[in-house]
Amino acid sequence: MAIDRDLMTLYVLEDKTFKVYTYSLDGAKKAAAFGGSDHEKLGQYRRPKGMAVNPFGEIFLCDTEIRCVDRFTAEGQFGGRWGGVAFDRCEKAAASGEGILYLLDQK
């Protein structure tokens, strides 16, 4: 789960379908879900864990099995992936007020 206070949006990762659902802070569903479990495609997951939102509205999601971090726009559009040998098992993500992304990895 992650919160974007500027956009007044709550992002919730569903642990069975691996989709991210967006809600307003009063609980109303805001937009279609993004992500999913077809891990052969970019922006899809096998074992997603950590999620963070930076002050620019970008969402970052870690996957421990694919060993990657994906970036999405506030609207859920896939924006890029970092991964490979750089990560062992990235489990947590946090973003500072300045937009610095912090990742907790088992390496």
- State pTM to two decimals: 0.86
Interatomic CA distance for residues 96 and 46, integer angstroms: 27
Over residues 37-92, the pLDDT tens digits come to 887 788 888 888 889 999 999 999 998 888 889 999 988 899 999 887 677 888 89
Residue 23 amino acid letter: Y
Task: Quote the pLDDT of residue 96.
Answer: 93
DSSP-derived secondary structure for 31-52? EEEEE-S-TTSTT--SSEEEEE
Examine the pLDDT at 98 and tell me if it is beyond 90: yes
Examine the pLDDT at 17 and tell me if it is beyond 80: yes
